[in-house]
């Protein structure tokens, strides 16, 4: 399965599943990354961390470690 970490800038994907447990999963969901949500990857920092996304009409920056927990298609 492809994760949000693997998506290249300029691509749009849909969230399929959130991995992780407890507080980490809840924090990702609170940021708006829930199942069937469309995500557009705007930019990736030069060293790959953080990743800038457009989710539900707003800009969001997340770490690679968090992006790796989000399965997309």
- Confidence band of 47 (pLDDT split at 50, 70, 90): confident
* Domain count of the fold of the chain: 1
Helix (H), strand (E) at residue 22: helix 22-30
Reading the block at residue 61, the tokens are 């920056």
Domain boundaries, position 7: 2-72
The domain that contains 53 carries what CATH number?
A: 2.30.30.90
pLDDT tens, residue by residue, 7-44: 999 999 999 999 988 898 999 999 999 999 999 999 99
pLDDT of residue 42: 95
Reading the block at residue 45, the tokens are 């920092």
pLDDT at 70 over 90: yes
Q: In the block, which residue shows the tokens 């599943």?
A: 17
């Amino acid at each position: 399965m492809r994760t949000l970490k693997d998506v290249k800038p300029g691509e749009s994907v849909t969230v399929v599943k959130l991995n992780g447990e407890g507080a980490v999963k809840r924090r990702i969901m609170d940021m708006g990354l829930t199942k069937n949500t469309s995500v557009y990857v705007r930019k990736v920092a030069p060293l790959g961390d953080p990743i800038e996304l457009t989710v539900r009409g707003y800009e969001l920056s997340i770490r690679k470690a968090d992006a790796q927990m989000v399965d997309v298609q």
